[in-house]
Amino acid sequence: MILKQIRNLEQRKKEKIRIGLYILFFMYLGLMFWEVFLGPYRSYSGTRRYNFYPFKTVIEFLSNASKYNFGIIFINLIANIITFIPLGFFTSLLFRRSGKLINTTLPCIFIIFCIEMGQFILNVGVLDIDDIILNTIGCTLGFVIYKVAKKIY
C-alpha cells in the first residue's frame, strides 16, 4: 500500500515536470516566432530575396568579414545555430519517438523549412538554404546535448 502511494507521488512529480517542460517548449516556440517574423532586425524589402546555393552566405560572411560588423556576422552564422539548439533538445526530450537522430532532425528540418517559406511569403527576411543548413546543425547539437544529458542523469 505504501509503495503504491510512493509510486503515485513519483508519477505525479514526473507529470508536473513534463508539463513544465512543455510550457518551456511552447514559450521557446513563441519567442522564436516573434524573433523570426516580428523581431526588430527583420528586413522588409520590396523584393523577395532568396539563396538556393549552399554555403554562399556563409562564405560571403567569412571571406569578407572586414566588410561586416561582428553583430551581423554573429546573427547570420552563430545565432542561426544557437537559436535552434533548444528545438533539437526539446524535440528529443518531449517526443518519445525522437530518440534517434533522424527522428529528431526530420521534424526540425520541416519546421525550419516552414519558417523559411513563411519569411519568403511574408517578405520579412531571406529564404536561404544556408539558414536551413545552420539551423539543422543547431537542432543536431540540441539532440547531442539531450543524449549527453540523458546519459549523465
* pLDDT tens, N- to C-terminus, the chain (153 residues): 676 666 777 888 888 988 999 999 999 999 999 988 887 777 666 788 889 999 999 999 989 888 988 888 888 899 999 999 999 999 998 887 767 889 899 999 999 999 999 999 988 888 999 999 999 999 999 999 999 998 898
Give yes or no for a contact between 131 and 112, defined as CB atoms under 8 angstroms apart. Answer: yes
On the CB side of 21, how many CA atoms lie within 13 Å of its CA?
15
All three cell numbers of 52: 538556393
Task: Please name the helix (run of DSSP H) or strand (run of DSSP E) that holds residue 87, with its range, or none.
Answer: helix 85-94
- How many other C-beta atoms are found inside a 10 Å radius of the C-beta of residue 42? 14
